[in-house]
Amino acid sequence: MFRHFTTSPTAGPRGAIFAGWLVLNALLVGGGCAWVADSGDADAADDTGPGDAGEPADAPPASDVPPDSDADAGPDNTDVSPGDDTATPEVGPDTPRPDGMIDGPVGLWTWYDIRGSMCANGTTTGIGVNQGSGSQVLIYMSGGSACVDEGCGAGNPSMRKNGGFRDEQLRACVDGLCDGGVTFPVTSIFNRTAVANPFADATYVFISSCSGDYYVGDGDHAFPSWTAQFRGSRNQALFAAEIAASFPDASRVILTGASGGSVGAMLNYWQWVDAFAGTRVDLVSDSFALVFADGPEWRYALHHARPPPGCPRCVSDYRSIYSFNAGLSPESRLAVLDSADNWTLDLVTGYRYTEGLRALQQSLSQIPNLRYHVADGSVHVLLKHPLDSVWVDVQNQSGTHTLADFLGKMQSDDPAWQSHSPL
């Protein structure tokens, strides 16, 4: 059963990495919000810089906060189907089968409960869908950290004991304040009016990080006051199956994710390739590169993380995920987005992220169907900015290269699609 509504469009040691995430909580969750002025046109938003508050490029970002939506929330056309908020997904033959019932109005955000999926607190979750007029499907996996302690102090509100993510939370994202401040990319890849957006007519799918486990968990963990049910990996299987059943004629699928969602997209790419057998599935990972063999960390014991089957090296050397994914679908294109001075990830890795990213570029350059776009400056999450924004440009010896041009060439299979980086 679906519950839906529609609303108007619009590497250091692991201990050091863990400590870095705790510090990030103060910056990303409790550090306040910065907003882009609502001008009535997403393309005309005040593009003020890395933290969306006008701070200098080398300053710590205030938070990963989306610009104001330029749309009116509209009437609440809620249509609620019965559902069980505490249902747990079954394993094996009783796993809920996809219904293929996603068929919302074009251009409107619609919430769908997906049977068997759940947030960390055990409540049912699902996906937000904004159906497009074209034949492509673009999936965006939300950013944020993870739940690594009883209060999920470094995580988003949706991950916590009293959290959850359903229609109300999707509405908040559309209205401009998403899950404590994570990016809802309404000015970039979710912008239907921007000439620079190569995905303007695609169907958009938004997935919350409420599983609290970088989308890779597959087990329970008992805290003193509650038991977290980490089901990120199983959720992805359910979501991919439902989307594939609902859009069997999709001409292409583009799986994207930012920050923690970038990790989820990379480590679950195999599930989407399996679900869309015979359909090209591209991958865009934004602002959380796995630059060291063991970091930044994603594999916490309490999450019972499920690495991609067939990639044992992905556990001993995180960087192996890039060549593994490229080999799953050689006809697809894979893109890595980041910035040259990603302050947020520098903090996590003991200020060695830029060094690791520079070294990673060398190995990424050897993968035939992968390219990277490393922007100048310190932006964390390039997809929170318009794709033709100067804040996500690359300037190097060959000139100025926009993110819009990079993604456009990726989409059009342009043979001139190239990697660009100032590093």
Q: Give residue 97's pLDDT band: very low, low, confident or very high (50, 70, 90).
A: low
The helix or strand, by DSSP H or E, that contains position 115, with its residue range, turns out to be strand 109-118
Token pair in block for residue 337? 């987005």
The identity of residue 51, as a single letter, is G
- Percent of the chain whose pLDDT exceeds 90: 72
Q: What Cα–Cα distance (Å) separates residue 294 from each residue in 77, 174, 346? A: 47, 36, 15
Q: Tell me the mean pLDDT in the region 96-107.
A: 83
Q: What is the mean pLDDT of residues 202-230?
A: 98
Strand partners, 336: 285, 372
Classify residue 95 as exposed, middle or buried by CB count within 10 Å of its CB (0-12, 13-18, 19+): middle
> Residue 201 CB: number of other CB atoms within 10 A?
13
pLDDT tens figures, 357-368: 999 999 999 999
**Which position has the higher pLDDT, 116 or 70?**
116
Task: Assess whether pLDDT exceeds 60 at residue 79.
Answer: no
Instruction: Please choose, from the candidates 327, 232, 340, 345, the residue with its C-alpha nearest in 3D space to the C-alpha of residue 283.
Output: 327
**36 pLDDT above the threshold of 70:** no
The predicted pLDDT at position 45 comes to 36
Mean pLDDT, the chain, rounded, equals: 82
Over residues 282-306, the pLDDT tens digits come to 999 999 999 999 999 999 999 999 9
Domain ranges of the chain: 6-411
- Tens digits of per-residue pLDDT, 244-275? 999 999 999 999 999 999 999 999 999 999 99
pLDDT value at position 98?
79
pLDDT tens digits along 108-163: 999 999 999 999 999 999 999 999 999 999 999 999 889 999 999 989 999 999 99
- What would the DSSP string read from start to end of 258-304? ETHHHHHHHHHHHHHHHHTTTS-EEEEEES----BTTBS----GGGT
Gap between the Cα atoms of 272 and 253, Å rounded: 9
Question: What is the pLDDT averaged over residues 38-45?
Answer: 33
- Hey, what are 3's tokens? 């519950």
Determine the pLDDT at residue 26.
33
- Tell me the pLDDT band of 397, cut-offs 50, 70 and 90: confident
Separation between Cα atoms, residue 420 and residue 387, nearest integer Å:
15
Distance CA 263, CA 247 (A): 25
Interatomic CA distance for residues 240 and 141, integer angstroms: 12
Mean pLDDT score, 31-42:
28
CA-based nearest residue to 146, from 261, 233, 60, 33: 261
313 and 286 Cβ atoms separated by less than 8 Å: no
Residue 30 has pLDDT above 70, yes or no: no
CB 173 within 8 A of CB 45: no
Say what the pLDDT of residue 287 is: 97
Report the share of the chain in percent with pLDDT over 70.
77
d(CA 143, CA 162): 19
Asked if residue 296 has a cis previous peptide bond (ω within 30° of 0), the answer is yes
User: What is the token pair recorded at 298?
Assistant: 């994603």
